[in-house]
A and B are shown apart, each in its own frame.
Chain A
Amino acid sequence: MDILVIEDEKPLLDAITIKLEKNGFTTFVARTCEQAISILESHPTLQAVWLDHYLIGEHTGIDFIAQAKQHPEYKHIPIFVVTNTGGTEKQQTYIRLGAERYYIKSNHRLDEIILDIQKYLTKKTQRS
């Protein structure tokens, strides 16, 4: 299972990728919106995206999801937003733009989020 992790904080990015790989994922990482888009374009095998709100550079997770969901090739890829920005407005924006789930980092364990992603992907595989 290929997953793209977009997260600007290095220690968090490391923890996420280690835990994902321990759970059988192959991870691709990006710390800016531009990197993320280019990985999206060059890796058609991606099955999920793990997205943070604040990124390095001037773009945020909102810019990424807006662009990703515009492309017919990528718009089916589920995006899981994992951020510390708890504003309802932002949360609603992400959901409106097509995010699957929205997590507050400090309030969730890594294995909880990963289990959710796995369940989602299993269901999706069963459906298709």
Chain B
Amino acid sequence: MQRTLPLPADVLYAALESSSNHIIITDPEGKIVYANKAVSHITGYAPEEILGSTPRLWGGLMSQAFYTEFWDTIKHKKRPFYGEINNKRKNGELYTAVSRVSPILNEAQELLGFIGTEEDISNRKEYERTLEHRTQELQETKTQIEQEKVRYQALLNSIGDGVVACDQTGVAIFANTAAETILGLTQEQIVGTTWTVSNPTVVTEQGDPIPLAMRAHMQAKATSKVAHARYYYQTLSGKKIPVSVTASPIVLENLYLGTIIVFRDVTSETLVDKAKTEFVSLASHQLRTPLSAINWYTEMLLAGDGGPLLAEQRRYLQEVATANARMIQLVNSLLNVSRIELGTFMVQPQTVDVLSVLRSVMDELKPAIDERRLHFIETHEGATSTQADPILLRAIIQNILSNAVKYTPEEGHISAGLRTIPSAQEIAGVSVPAGSTLLTVTDTGYGIPENQAHKIFTKLFRADNVQEKDTQGTGLGLYIVKSICQAAGGGIWFTSKENQGSTFYFFIPPGGMQAKMGTKQLATS
């Protein structure tokens, strides 16, 4: 229908002129007889420069072979040419065009001229080049990422610790070889499941489940800080594996993305530790028998059961008795440490008047206080009864007070204050809840050197400044006190200045000590 549409010549001409494609008409020799506006626009040549010229004005950049074939096609074979050619604008800029050249033939198939159209595709070419470049870049990046992934996987798989990565919902997205080995599971069983809801289950040594909120990865999520924990993974087969766990949150620009959980099978460490503690327990226990013999025979000698003693003999025997008493105390302390470390000691809270315990310890220390001519003041206010294990409470108070006595020079001052804290408050940097029972013991003693303050509660530690002054300390007392506080609830801390004195603070929380099941009581000294 369109073909038969009768269009006036001026309309057709207007259509030619308004085309965005370049259109020329030449004579059989290639001389341009017509060029539309787009030709000037694309090539940059004015119509007067174009008319009478040939397309070589902007073309002629292709090879000789190209032109030979080009002319052969359109002139001799009288067939249209279609292809991409390179051209040059008047301003020297190169561009690519898709060109179509058709011979104009009369009815006798004689050549009258050519119609040439060209479409400037240099922009498209540019896009294509950019796209190709980008694709190549992407390919390289992809290869790099893949290589890196393989490298990291090899790295993660070569370490002995189990590594599991979770996304923000807690679903495991990666597990390394060690994680598979420790848990007895495959990657496929770990990845894609919520860590760790059912497999493995997380339990205590006794097999009680540990609540989700108490596990390292949930704490890391809640606090956005690295969290550590020690508990047991129980596998499907029921095997309990002691693990030391470190969970690190992945946070990018305040956005929580997930957690990396690193865990180590501490079976052998635990066994070695247990064997060591059991050995200490056994050795200490065995030591008690000969110590009892020394104890009882010196007692009998001093009592005159073996006949009258010379003053000199009595003095020597007294030394034996004192040394033996210290040995017994050391053995008791070692046994206590082993009970703490084996977790076998019990906490049995009952109603206790802390003041009466304090006073009984003071009575016990009276000979030492008098000998050193120390000034001792006791103060108390409010109710002094609470729920506490009397044996443990006594051990704590005994340790704090006897330290004050041991480490205060002659004629120094010691004050022990006992009170109930009416409202929550911060005392020497520690927040103490309302209703706590607080014991404060201040002395004018040797003090604790500032650079050693952080070690004071560690096992077998003794500060440099007192080692020479008092050789009796075992370095176990405050470690035991701290361990009791950790197991029973409550707190112990101090402030100190070397050569001026120390203040030790101890509190029992408002509800009293927490009960703890166990098989052994701590030995009283």
- A84-95: contact bitstring with B at CB < 8 Å (1 yes, 0 no)? 111111010000
Known contacts A19-B305, A85-B285, A110 near B523 by CB under 8 Å: no
A86 CA to B297 CA, complexed, in Å: 22
Contact assessment for B297 and A111 in the assembled complex, using a CB-CB cutoff below 8 Å = no
Look across to chain B and name the residue whose beta carbon is closest to the beta carbon of A110: B296
A66-117: which have CB < 8 Å to B?
84-89, 91, 104-107, 109-111
Look across to chain B and name the residue whose beta carbon is closest to the beta carbon of A82: B292
A104 CA to B524 CA, complexed, in Å: 10
* A87 neighbours in B (Cβ, 8 Å): 519-520
CB distance from A93 to the nearest CB of B (A): 11
Known contacts A19-B305, A86-B335, A111-B299, A105 near B292 by CB under 8 Å: yes
Contact assessment for B520 and A107 in the assembled complex, using a CB-CB cutoff below 8 Å = no
CB distance from B325 to the nearest CB of A (A): 9
Q: Determine the main DSSP class of A at the interface with B.
A: helix
Contact assessment for A88 and B523 in the assembled complex, using a CB-CB cutoff below 8 Å = no
Look across to chain A and name the residue whose beta carbon is closest to the beta carbon of B292: A105
A16 CA to B293 CA, complexed, in Å: 10
Known contacts A84-B285, A85-B285, A106-B291, A15 near B520 by CB under 8 Å: no
* B420 neighbours in A (Cβ, 8 Å): none
Contact assessment for A15 and B328 in the assembled complex, using a CB-CB cutoff below 8 Å = no
Contact of A110 (CB < 8 Å), options: B300, B328, B331, B520: B300
Q: Does B303 contact A (CB under 8 A)?
A: yes
* A88 neighbours in B (Cβ, 8 Å): 346, 518-521
Q: Does B234 contact A (CB under 8 A)?
A: no
Contact assessment for B328 and A106 in the assembled complex, using a CB-CB cutoff below 8 Å = yes
CB distance from B123 to the nearest CB of A (A): 91
Contact assessment for A19 and B300 in the assembled complex, using a CB-CB cutoff below 8 Å = yes
Known contacts A89-B520, A104-B523, A84 near B289 by CB under 8 Å: yes
A66 CA to B242 CA, complexed, in Å: 40
Contact assessment for B292 and A84 in the assembled complex, using a CB-CB cutoff below 8 Å = yes
* A86 neighbours in B (Cβ, 8 Å): 285, 335, 520-521, 523
- B153-172: contact bitstring with A at CB < 8 Å (1 yes, 0 no)? 00000000000000000000
Known contacts A84-B289, A87-B519, A107 near B524 by CB under 8 Å: yes
* B335 neighbours in A (Cβ, 8 Å): 86
Look across to chain A and name the residue whose beta carbon is closest to the beta carbon of B519: A89
Residue with the greatest number of chain A CB neighbours at <10 A, chosen from B288, B293, B296, B524: B296
- B332-362: contact bitstring with A at CB < 8 Å (1 yes, 0 no)? 1001000000000010000000000000000
* B292 neighbours in A (Cβ, 8 Å): 12, 84, 105-106
Look across to chain B and name the residue whose beta carbon is closest to the beta carbon of A88: B521
* B291 neighbours in A (Cβ, 8 Å): 106
Q: Does B193 contact A (CB under 8 A)?
A: no
Contact of B293 (CB < 8 Å), options: A11, A19, A91: A11
A102 CA to B291 CA, complexed, in Å: 18
CB distance from A20 to the nearest CB of B (A): 11
A91 CA to B300 CA, complexed, in Å: 27
Q: Does A63 contact B (CB under 8 A)?
A: no
Contact of A18 (CB < 8 Å), options: B289, B300, B518: B300
CB distance from B11 to the nearest CB of A (A): 115
Known contacts A18-B305, A84-B285, A106 near B299 by CB under 8 Å: no
Contact assessment for A106 and B524 in the assembled complex, using a CB-CB cutoff below 8 Å = no
* A111 neighbours in B (Cβ, 8 Å): 299, 303
CB distance from B302 to the nearest CB of A (A): 10
Look across to chain A and name the residue whose beta carbon is closest to the beta carbon of B524: A107
Q: Does B295 contact A (CB under 8 A)?
A: yes
* B285 neighbours in A (Cβ, 8 Å): 84-86
CB distance from B289 to the nearest CB of A (A): 6
A42-60: which have CB < 8 Å to B?
none
B59-117: which have CB < 8 Å to A?
none
A18 CA to B307 CA, complexed, in Å: 13
Look across to chain B and name the residue whose beta carbon is closest to the beta carbon of A19: B300
Q: 29 A-B pairs, CB-CB below 8 angstroms? A: A9-B293, A12-B292, A12-B296, A15-B296, A15-B300, A18-B300, A18-B305, A19-B296, A19-B300, A22-B305, A84-B285, A84-B289, A84-B292, A85-B285, A86-B520, A87-B519, A88-B519, A88-B520, A89-B519, A89-B520, A104-B288, A104-B523, A105-B292, A106-B288, A106-B291, A106-B295, A106-B328, A109-B295, A109-B299
